[in-house]
């Protein structure tokens, strides 16, 4: 399951991702409809799902700040808002990388994606590792 941050609503990313991702794709607002979801509530909502990968463009509020858990993965894109349309293809590239190509490998990690690299840390290893794309 890929869960998109509400900031990505209205950009057709769910359709672009659904075209290649075999699992379900939804928005965080679908997990708790008709309510305002603050950033600090997102980990709790993700824990209630089966191994979701949460995707956000709001890296400043999640990278090195979120409470990480072995039951979910967070992918933070360090892109300006006007480049949000690039997320679907970049996410596909990342999820095909041998380091992240299965749910089991992604769970418990927080990733920060830039144009040229993916930095990440995990529940087990708080040290930041980097992969050059």
85 pLDDT higher than 90:
yes
Residue 108 makes CB contacts below 8 A (sequence gap 6+) with 68, 69, 70, 71, 72, 73, 122, 123, 124
Domain layout of the chain by residue ranges: 2-132
With vertex at residue 121, the alpha carbon angle to CA 118 and CA 126, rounded to the nearest 5 degrees, is 150
User: pTM score > 0.85 for this model?
Assistant: yes
pLDDT digits (tens, 9 = 90+) for 37-61: 999 999 999 999 999 999 999 999 9
């Amino acid at each position: 399951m890929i869960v998109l941050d509400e900031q990505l609503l209205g950009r057709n990313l769910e359709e672009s991702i659904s075209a290649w991702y075999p699992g379900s794709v939804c928005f965080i607002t679908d997990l708790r409809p008709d309510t305002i979801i603050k950033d600090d509530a997102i980990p709790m909502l993700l824990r209630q799902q089966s191994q979701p990968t949460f995707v956000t463009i709001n890296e400043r509020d999640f990278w090195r700040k979120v409470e990480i858990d072995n039951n979910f993965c967070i992918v933070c894109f360090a892109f300006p808002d006007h480049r949000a349309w690039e997320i679907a293809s970049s996410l596909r590239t990342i999820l095909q990388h041998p380091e992240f190509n299965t749910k089991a490998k992604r769970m418990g990690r927080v990733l920060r994606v830039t144009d040229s690299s993916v930095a990440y840390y995990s529940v087990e290893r708080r040290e930041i590792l980097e992969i050059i794309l």
